[in-house]
Each structure stands twice: as structure tokens, then as C-alpha cells.
Structure 1
Amino acid sequence: MTAAAVLDKHQLEQALYEERQAVSSGALKEENPLDTSGEFRALCEACRRGDLRSCQEQIDKCANINAKDEYDYTPLILASLCGHYEVVRMLLEQGARCERDTFQGERCLYNALNDRIRDLLLSYDYAKSTDPLQPLAAHITSLLGREQPRTSDIAIVGGETTLQLHKFILSARSPYMRRELSKTPNIKKLRLEASSASIRASMRFLYLSELGAEWENAGSHEIGELSKRLEVPQLEEHSIQTSDRRVGRQRRTAELERARDQLEVWLDEHVIKHKFEVDSNKIDEVRWELGNSAFADVLLRAEDEAWEDKDEANRLATQLAEVDLQDDGKKGKACASMPGQRRSTLYPAHRAMLLRSEVFATMFSSPFREGQENRNLQVIPVDCSPEVLEIVLRFLYTEQATFPLSLALKVLQVADMLFIERLKQRAALLISTLGNGTASVAIKAGDEQEEEDVNIYDIVRVGWDTRVQRLEEFGARYLAYRLERYIEEPEFQELVLESASRITRRQEIDSVELIDDIRYYLSERFRLRMEDSGLNEMLDDEPNPEGKESRPTNEQPQTDFAGGRVRALNDELAGDEFAQNAIDYQILLDRIDRLMEHLGLDG
């Protein structure tokens, strides 16, 4: 990293002055507004401490990730200044801005604690850090030219141009279209009086396409008339070109957010609101025709999770049937209140949005039943609960997904099954932050065990099955920071054996990936406390020849500073916390070695 890669202080001050002048004149929108809310203060404090879990919790409470406090610090600047790499990465993945041509972006780079964080900030370009809705916009724009599979259901005619479009998108984006289409849901063609160029530019705008030359070809007067007729004032505003790149980007971002909100309202009012339940054995009797009020062209089916295990349900019903109930002296059977059939929930959906999943895209393009058009909507089963399917639908329609940690693993598995990579990474991010617990603090012997929010064994296995490297790393780090609690458990030993079996044609010299990762994070756990204490050399000494878990043989007797000594994992007194960490580190390494020997593994 050269010195020229970061602006000098006087250049930062000049950038700040120019930015404030542009904001005060109204030419620019304030991208980092002052926020004094309790949620934002808690977010800033969590970024100072490096508390991943608290950061995610405050973001879930809608704290503005790009706001600033009264000292002009953004959460990203605080995390980079304090050297919390994982927090910086999480903030960037959640949409925190770090742009080279802004004061706050240059300040973030200038204040980064080390080169590792600075390189991470530089690696997040505009598309990654400031435009999280771009994938949604790109998909909607691609529908304009997609011929296979066919998803359009209305032709918009203007001049000599005929565009094959989608009723639900037009209805969500334009109040005029919403009224017209609600009157005649079965309409196949709609004419707008305007030139071909104006119609093309206007429809591309509604489909979130980035327009340049199209505005020049379309007459400004006609665009203004269409803007009023469609009741989309932003259409006319965007037709006025600007030479300022940042102004254009802010316009674009604001329009994407507005479109996202419109699609979310449509999803809630026409998809989620119109879901309905039926007995699973009566699915074939369901009839929904094309031209319905939701403009849906497919029904997605989710099974009621309470009835996924039919044998268990039957057993429970049998047990309850044997229980006598007293009601005014008369005996009855409990089975009368037991639902007799498994239930399914059906959601009216749109193939155009489901195409964001590679599985659905392949399914609808195939010559099989799912790829054929029928008068009645086809029912497509999705192997998940209604709660999880709603999360998936919300992500496909809006690029947003907020869900609790308890559902994160299920969402991850369904996203992997449907090949929705961004949702898969979102679920992995949630697990590795909310599930982090107190991973930043070593669990001390004798401390009361915290309540577990996650089953770490399930997380590691799902990470292997779904090929999510982030989960594998999180699992190893989580176990390393709590190794004394888990290493004696049979489930931990089974996990180590599973990790060893994942190596095809395993050789004697092959190591076990999980154990290698745990050793690395175990070293990190203790190195953070010992690097500057001069105790690292203690780890190079041989342990007690008797094989007892005791202090290294060269350790000098420690002085009891007013009874301030602490105990190591083997219950021996250590002179201070640094000495305790050195002893504990060696003890845990010895336990790992003995475990590997017990399992008959090398490495």
C-alpha cells in the first residue's frame, strides 16, 4: 500500500468542505445523516467493542448503518479504527458505504487500524457496498428481453412498438396501471398514446433499467405527459440529465429503494395475504385460473411443519384417543379435537420472480409438466414450512430477508436446495453473527455455562453439506473458544471422525481439517492476550515428564499479589491471568492430541 493510496489530511478537509457546500445547496442528499436514536448508539458501541452479535441485533432493529453520531463517526469508521476485522466485513456485507470519492469513505480508509482492514475496505467497490438492490434491479430489467421461459402476460402498445410485459410489475409500479388492470384482470393488450421511443423509455424506467441515450430519443414533452398519465412523477424527474455522477447515483439508489418498497407492498397484499390452507390429500382439487386478481401464474405449496412426521402424528393421536375427558360427568374421546389430515399452505406467485432461483428457472424452461402453460395454475411443492417459504418469497421479490436465528439453518438449507446464493450467504451471515454469542471472550473454567442459541454440531454439518466456508470457519472458531466445554462430549468426537472421513482416499499423513481449524483459532484465542506479555516462549517448553496437566517445567514460582492469583484449567494456581492463559493453551493442545490418539487419527 503506497502513501498515495490514501488522501492527506488537508485533502480530506477540502473534500469535507466541498461535500457540505453541495449538501447545503441541495445539489446532494446527505448520505450520512446525524442519528441520536438509542438503536444507533447501541450499534456504535457494539462496533467499538467488536461485538458481532449486538451489531446484528441493532441492524435488525432498523438502525441506520450509514448514519453518523454527534462526533461524525459512522459504524464502519468506528469498527475499522478499533481494528475489528470481522465487524468491518459484516458491515460492508450489510450495505455500509466506503466510497473513495467521499469524505467519509476516505476518512474510513485513513483511520483503518491496519493494512488488512484497509485492503478489505478497498476491495468493496460501489456495486458491493452501496447498491445491494442491484441484483434485484438487474433481474427485473432482464425480464424485458427474456423469451424463454415465457412469463409476460400483457402487451403494451405505443406507436409502432409492442412490448411484452408483466401485469404485477406494472400494477406495483404505477397507480394508473393498477386501477386499469384491477378493472379487467384478463386483459391481454393495452394501448398508450405516445411515440415508440417514449413508451420504450417509460417502460424501461418502470423495469429499473439504467437509461442514457433513451432519454434523448424520447421527447421531453411526451415523457412529461406519460409521467402524469402513469402517475409516476419520478419518470419526468429522471429524464432530466445531470452531469454530476454522485447526484445521478443518489437518484438511482432512491428509485431502487422506492421500487423495492412497492414490490414489498404488492407481495404482502397479493401473495402473502392470499395464501390459503387445504388438506394435503385435496391438493388435486384446487383450481386457480389464470387472470386472477393477483396475476399469479403458479401456486407454491409448503407443508405444515407440525405434520411433517406422519408416524409421529398418528402415534400422538392414538395416545390422546385413549385419554378419557370429563365433561359434565360424560366421557368423550380426545381424538375428536385432533385434526385428521396433514395441511398444506398454498401461495399464489409469479414465475417471473421465481426465475431468480436457478432451480425454478430450469424447471420452467423444461418440457415437463412445470414448464407447460395450463388454464389452471400448477401447484409446485417446496420442501419447507410456510414460515420459511415466506422468507424465501420475500427475498426473491424484494432482496430483503429478516428472520430469527431459530430459522436460519432451515432458510440456509432451502436456499441451497433452490440455488439462491445470496439468500444462502445472508443466512450464513446471520448464523455467524447472532450465533456468535461470547466467542470474543474465552469461556473460563468454573463459569456458569451460557444458554446455547445454536446447535454448533448441526451448523458445522450444514456448512459441509451446503459448501459454505463461512459456516465452517464459524463452527471451528466457536468450538475453539469453548473447547474445554465440548472436547469431552461424544458428539464432538463424532464430528471429528466425520471431518476425517470427508477426505477421499485418506492417507496416514493427512490431517483433519476441523482439528486444524480449531488449533488455529485456539492459538488466536490465547495469542490475543499473550502477544505483548512476553509469555509466548513458555509455550515452546516440554510439559511435565510425568504427563500431568501442569504448568510448564521452566515456570518460576509466582508471587501471590494480595491473593490475586487465578486458577488454570487443571485447578493449579497461576501467578496472573497471562500465566493462566499460557497454561490453559498447553493443556487444551494436549487434550486435542490425546483425543486424536484415542480416535486413531494423525494430524
Structure 2
Amino acid sequence: GDDLDLFCSHRTWASCNNAIIKYLVEQRDVDLNVKDKWDSTPLYYACLCGHEELVQYLLASGAKCEANTFDGERCMYGSLSDSVRRLLKDYKCVSIRAMQRDDFNYFLHMLLEQGQYSDVKFLVHGQTFLAHRCVLSARSEYFTEMFETKWKGKNLINLKHPLINPAAFGAILQYFYTGRMDIDISLVEDSRRLAKQCKMADLIEELENKCKQVYEFVSNKPGICVKVLTLEPHSCQLQDEMAQLADCALPTELRVGFGELPFNRVDRFPTYPDICFRVDGYDFLCHKAFFCGRSDYFKALLEDHFSEGEQLQSQPSTPVITLHNISHEIFIHIMYYIYTDDTELMTENVFDVLCVADMYLLPGLKRLCGKTLAKTICEENVLHMWKTAKLFRLSRLEDQCTEFMAKIIERLVEQAEFAEMVKEDAASLEKRQETDSVPLVDDIRYHIASNVQTYSAIEEANQKLEALEELLARINIDC
């Protein structure tokens, strides 16, 4: 939206506005590696404009710039100065740290890398790959078919064909799990061959387009060497296909109105569940890999669950855990979020989902709830919304509330509740000295003063600041 437009705008970078960049990254939670219509990232613009301090900040915060990749070489080639190039050369890969900002991608990456709760093992010319049949089935109809025919009942699958390259197979698995692929240029043909075998027309097209893009870039830039081909994930496709696992986990009687799959697809799409959650008497057939990997609450719950507990009658090997203090409607939102990193929230249920997300230790879902709540901010609820943001540690929502407060501060200062909030915020600071700042006041001041450029805007900002100062004087707070 507007934040992304501002983040990638040439004006932002040309003015070298460190405050705006840090605000967008730290408060607005904007994706550091977002690309604009010219396929350019914020790091590229910072390099292009020679903003050494910002380049350093973006790299430290998780911007991607691996050597010998298209994006990395482009940043290097476009850098305005040698000092920026040195920063890029000294860059140590922090892609894992970058992924941790986006916990769903990080989860999928670690699910593949560590293979926790894997239920199938591939042996490719002596190299072992742990995997999950549910993920591969959701992402590939070829694997769905193979698991039900040639590989049915097998936990170890030995792929002996001489043309299957282990590194290319690993890259294909990476694509299945994360939507991303990092491969050596020399392995492109092997990967394309495997993709064809797996009937992955989209991947073949992506590989061809990326190869063309890299070739055109390298041919026009003497001395540039791209050795690694990187395909970035298309989150919508990945989420849609992972959503199939949630669709299939829904009890039959609840499938109407939920999910994306027609009934016949659900019936012929086994997902190999290994845990059953019973909520309001409904059985949800799910996967430990997702619930434990995404939530420390469920990880502790399932690890502490004794094996002699209740078993599912239709699948005796599947344990049943009954969840209390949650309705099946809210659990459906939790489940879709766990599988897809997204869920449709409505004003009527968002607070209930937020409370459960907090209990189940799902910070990403809390942020999603915060985004939904932010759309409803108005003069009548902004104070309550700010308290909610503080309570659930939703920094972005808190910031959006103070931004809204700044707009209506002249009316807010007349409200006793607002004055009380300022006093409480001041009192909550441990060992606060009389003249120390108050976070709520500081944030409002910041938003009043930010982006003030015209004379009339300066006058208006001064009036607002004056109204705020008068309130502080009335309640005896000096900050």
C-alpha cells in the first residue's frame, strides 16, 4: 500500500531520509526486500544513491545481497561509490535473519532443513532428503499420485535414475517448501528436467524467464558474473496450495462455506495427518509439523501429551487432543493461519482471534489481527485501540493509533480518559525522572511534526503541540 510506495519511491532515497526508512522498517514492518515495477529493491536504490549509512542499516536488518546472484551483482554494479561496494563485498549472508522477519518463510525453510516430523525419506545417489508427504502432495499432483501408487506405504524412497542430480532434487524440494529456489547456473538443465518429470510447468517457465533475465543483464554488463540463479517465492501460489491442507483438515460437516477445494478433490487428496484436534466435538485432522513448527504452545502441548492418550477410532495411530476454551469457528481461523500464514478476519471476531493467537503464541497472527483492527480506528475507539495494542504488544497498531491521535489531539486533550492514559504511561516507566519523556507523548509529538512542509501545516502543528503542552501542564507532567 502507501507504505510500500513510500519505501520504494525515488524521492525517499534521493532525500536520504534515514528517519523515514527506519520508521517504515521498524514501526510499519515493511518488507525489506520488496521490489517495485522496475524489479528494484530498497537496497538497490540506496546503493544507486550512494547512501552508505542506509546500505549498512539495510544489510544489518536483513536485506538480501548475496554475491554472484542477479540482485547482488546488480547492487554492486549500480553502486555510486567504492565505499558502498566495499560494504557489499564485506556483507555476510544474513538470509536466515531476513527470513526470521517473515516467520512463515523461515518456518518452511527450517521444516525442510531440519525435517522434524518428516514421514518420508528420499535417497538420491547416496544423499538423504527428509520430507513431508503432506507438503509434497499439496504442492504437486505428481507426488500425490506417486504416494498413492508406486510409493504407497513406503517411508524410504530410493531414486536411482542416473539423470537425477541430488543437488537439483534438493533445489526442487526447496521450491516445494518455500516457493524459492537457489541453484548453481550449471544445475539449471538438471532442475528443468526434474521439473518436467514432476509436471511443474510453472517452474519450468520461471526458470526460463529468469535465465533470460540473467543473460540479458550479464551480456550488457562487462565483468559481471552471475553463478547462482534465484527464484523468489510467489506467496499467493504457495499459500493457496498450503491452504489445501487446511481444507482437508476440516471436518466433513464443516466444509460447506470453507476452503477452496471441491469435495471430489478433498476425497482423492490424502494429506497423511498425524494429529487430531477435537474442538466443540469436531475432529480436525492436522499435522504436527505445522502446529509444532509454528507455535511453541502446540509444541509443548504435543510433546507433553502422553502416548496412552485417546486415539482416533478411524485412524488408531493418530492421537486425539481436545482443545478447551476455544470455539470451532475461531480454531478454523487459527488452523488456516498456521497452514497459510493468512486467514480472513472480520471486525466481529478479530478480538477473539487476537486473544487466542496470544494464548497460542502466534505473533504473526496477532499482527494480522492488528492490521484488521487498524482499519477500524476512529475517534470513538482510538484510546481503547491503543490500550489493546499496548496489551498485546502490537507496535504497528500502537503507532497507527498515536498517528490518529495526533490528527485529533486538540479534541483529545479535553477528554479525561486521555489525560489518565498519559499519566498511566508516565507512571509505568520504571525509575522515571520528572523531566523524562513519556512514550505516548513522544509518539504523538513525532506524528504531529512529521512531514510538515508548508507554512500553514507548520502553524497547524504548532497549535496541536501547544494544546498537548497545555494538557501536560494541567496534569503536572514535565517531559
- Structure 1 stretches of 4+ moved >6 Å: 78-84, 98-101, 107-112, 114-124, 130-134, 183-186, 234-241, 245-250, 370-373, 577-581
Correspondence for 1:262 among 216, 238, 241: 241
- Paired residue for 1:474? 400
Shift of 1:252: 1.3
Mapped pair 1:143 → 2:111: yes
Correspondence for 2:276 among 299, 302, 308: 299
Rg bigger for which structure? 1
Corresponding letter in the other structure for 1:528: V
Corresponding letter in the other structure for 2:144: R
Correspondence for 2:300 among 359, 363, 367: 363
Shift of 1:175: 1.3
- Paired residue for 1:567? none
Instruction: Kindly indicate whether the alpha-carbon contact (under 8 Å) linking 1:201 and 1:214 is maintained by their aligned counterparts in 2.
Output: no
Shift of 1:501: 3.9
Aligned pairs for 1:81-480 within 5 A: 85=20, 92-93=30-31, 96-97=34-35, 102=40, 125-126=63-64, 136-146=104-114, 150-156=116-122, 163-182=129-148, 187-189=153-155, 191=157, 193-195=159-161, 198=165, 201-202=168-169, 205-208=172-175, 210=181, 212=183, 220=190, 227-233=195-201, 244=214, 252-253=231-232, 258-264=237-243, 266-267=244-245, 269-272=247-250, 274=252, 276=254, 293-300=270-277, 343=280, 346-360=283-297, 362-363=299-300, 366-369=303-306, 375-379=317-321, 381=323, 384-401=326-343, 403-404=345-346, 409-429=351-371, 431-432=373-374, 434-435=375-376, 452=380, 455-480=381-406
- Paired residue for 1:281? none
- Partners in 2 of 1:529 and 1:206 — Cα distance? 52
Distance change >3 Å, CA 590–CA 392, structure 1 → 2: same
Instruction: Kindly indicate whether the alpha-carbon contact (under 8 Å) linking 1:296 and 1:349 is maintained by their aligned counterparts in 2.
Output: yes
Shift of 1:77: 4.5
Instruction: Kindly indicate whether the alpha-carbon contact (under 8 Å) linking 1:500 and 1:512 is maintained by their aligned counterparts in 2.
Output: yes
Instruction: Kindly indicate whether the alpha-carbon contact (under 8 Å) linking 2:120 and 2:157 is maintained by their aligned counterparts in 1.
Output: no
Instruction: Kindly indicate whether the alpha-carbon contact (under 8 Å) linking 1:358 and 1:420 is maintained by their aligned counterparts in 2.
Output: yes
Mapped pair 1:528 → 2:452: yes
Instruction: Kindly indicate whether the alpha-carbon contact (under 8 Å) linking 1:297 and 1:350 is maintained by their aligned counterparts in 2.
Output: yes
- Paired residue for 1:590? 470
- Paired residue for 1:568? none
Shift of 1:186: 7.7
Helix, strand or coil at the partner of 2:452: helix
Helix, strand or coil at the partner of 2:389: helix
Distance change >3 Å, CA 108–CA 236, structure 1 → 2: closer
- Partners in 2 of 1:496 and 1:104 — Cα distance? 37
Shift of 1:407: 5.2
- Partners in 1 of 2:185 and 2:461 — Cα distance? 66
Shift of 1:514: 2.6
CA RMSD of aligned residues (A): 5.4
Distance change >3 Å, CA 137–CA 102, structure 1 → 2: closer
Distance change >3 Å, CA 476–CA 349, structure 1 → 2: same
- Partners in 2 of 1:420 and 1:107 — Cα distance? 34
Instruction: Kindly indicate whether the alpha-carbon contact (under 8 Å) linking 2:246 and 2:339 is maintained by their aligned counterparts in 1.
Output: no
Distance change >3 Å, CA 213–CA 367, structure 1 → 2: farther
Mapped pair 1:487 → 2:413: yes
- Paired residue for 2:80? none
- Paired residue for 1:321? none
Q: Give unmatched runs, 5+ long, in structure 1.
A: 1-42, 53-64, 67-72, 278-291, 303-342, 438-449, 534-576
Shift of 1:140: 3.0
Distance change >3 Å, CA 229–CA 118, structure 1 → 2: closer
Instruction: Kindly indicate whether the alpha-carbon contact (under 8 Å) linking 2:410 and 2:464 is maintained by their aligned counterparts in 1.
Output: no
Shift of 1:225: 6.9
Distance change >3 Å, CA 205–CA 427, structure 1 → 2: same
Q: TM-score, normalised by structure 2?
A: 0.62
Distance change >3 Å, CA 239–CA 191, structure 1 → 2: farther
Helix, strand or coil at the partner of 2:118: coil
Shift of 1:132: 10
**What is the total number of aligned residue pairs between the two structures?**
409
Shift of 1:270: 1.2
Residues 3-22 of structure 1: per-residue CA shift (max 9 Å, x gap): xxxxxxxxxxxxxxxxxxxx
Shift of 1:297: 1.9
Corresponding letter in the other structure for 2:466: Q
Instruction: Kindly indicate whether the alpha-carbon contact (under 8 Å) linking 1:154 and 1:165 is maintained by their aligned counterparts in 2.
Output: yes
* Percent identity of equivalent pairs: 19
Distance change >3 Å, CA 140–CA 121, structure 1 → 2: closer
Distance change >3 Å, CA 514–CA 213, structure 1 → 2: closer
Corresponding letter in the other structure for 1:269: D
Instruction: Kindly indicate whether the alpha-carbon contact (under 8 Å) linking 2:117 and 2:288 is maintained by their aligned counterparts in 1.
Output: yes
- Paired residue for 1:325? none
Instruction: Kindly indicate whether the alpha-carbon contact (under 8 Å) linking 2:172 and 2:195 is maintained by their aligned counterparts in 1.
Output: no
Instruction: Kindly indicate whether the alpha-carbon contact (under 8 Å) linking 1:156 and 1:190 is maintained by their aligned counterparts in 2.
Output: yes
Distance change >3 Å, CA 253–CA 232, structure 1 → 2: same
Distance change >3 Å, CA 491–CA 79, structure 1 → 2: same
